Structure 1
Amino acid sequence: ARAGEPVPAAVLAGLNAALGAAPVVGELVLDGAELTYRQRRAGRTADRLAAELAAAVAELIADPVELAALRECAAEDCVLLFRPMNPRRQWCSAARCGNRARVARHYRRQKGAEA
């Protein structure tokens, strides 16, 4: 989807199956005198988790603006995508990939200074 290609039918079928395995149900909850309406997913825990993840993916691939905002992590050995909060952000995780890149850069500088 990020490359502008149509989402394969098998992917759509898988997402729809996960969404359907734990449908959203509405319920009224009476807490003392306060009546509230809430929605929750029905089904087994694994199905509910898969449905929540499928819903997040579905919302993302259906929104061209959000999809275009995704970036690939700049770390060579990382395959993750992330949504940067800062336009200068390069890594999916500053603690993991960012730190590794800074350590490698420092090591290269130190090695160059010794030569």
Structure 2
Amino acid sequence: MTGADLAAVHAVRDHTARALDRVRHGSRPPADALAALNEAQRAAPAVAELAWNGEVVTTVRRRPGSPGARLSAWLAEAAAELLTDPAVAKIRQCEAGDCVMLFLPARPRRRWCSPARCGNRVRVARHYQRHK
């Protein structure tokens, strides 16, 4: 991948983060973020290619363009699906102080992206403070 490809992927990540931050809190996402995600998808539109596998007709979605444009388009499409999913309002940020991960909790009381990683570190730190 070239530097331009990498910049395109980073741009999709940044626009997705900005839109997701607003949408998961019930606010209107920035118009420029949505426009950028739409543009990333248009840069390498998906085409359903038909093929015969010897028994049935199959379809494979392919995208033309550079590796960065294709990756950016796939990521922007995934972001569009996430932003329009009703569950987007349930996405939470991990409560561990040094973690930046977002997660969709399986249970309403879940507080960390990973109970085994972040949850355990928080519990160990709390135990250490109590027994210091």
* 1:26 matched to 2:79: no
Q: Which ranges of structure 2 fall in alignment gaps of 5 or more residues?
A: 1-22
The structure with the greater share of residues assigned to helix is: 2
Match of 1:16 in 2: 38
Matched residue pairs, number? Answer: 110
Which structure would you say has the larger RCO, counting Cα contacts within 8 Å and 6 or more residues apart?
A: 2
- d(CA) in 1 for partners of 2:60, 2:66: 19
Root-mean-square deviation (Å) = 1.9
> TM-score with structure 1 length normalisation?
0.80
Cα deviation, residue 21, structure 1: 1.6
Percentage identity across paired residues of the two chains: 55
Query: TM (normalized to structure 2)?
Result: 0.71
Larger radius of gyration: 1
Q: Aligned residue for 1:102?
A: 123
Q: Which has the higher strand share?
A: 1
Contact 2:50 2:59 in 1 (8 A): yes
**1:34-53: CA deviations, max 9, x gaps?**
32123233322222222222
Task: Specify the code of the residue in structure 1 equivalent to 2:24.
Answer: R
Give runs of ≥4 in structure 1 deviating > 6 Å.
none
Quote the Cα distance in structure 2 between the aligned partners of 1:52 and 1:95.
Answer: 30
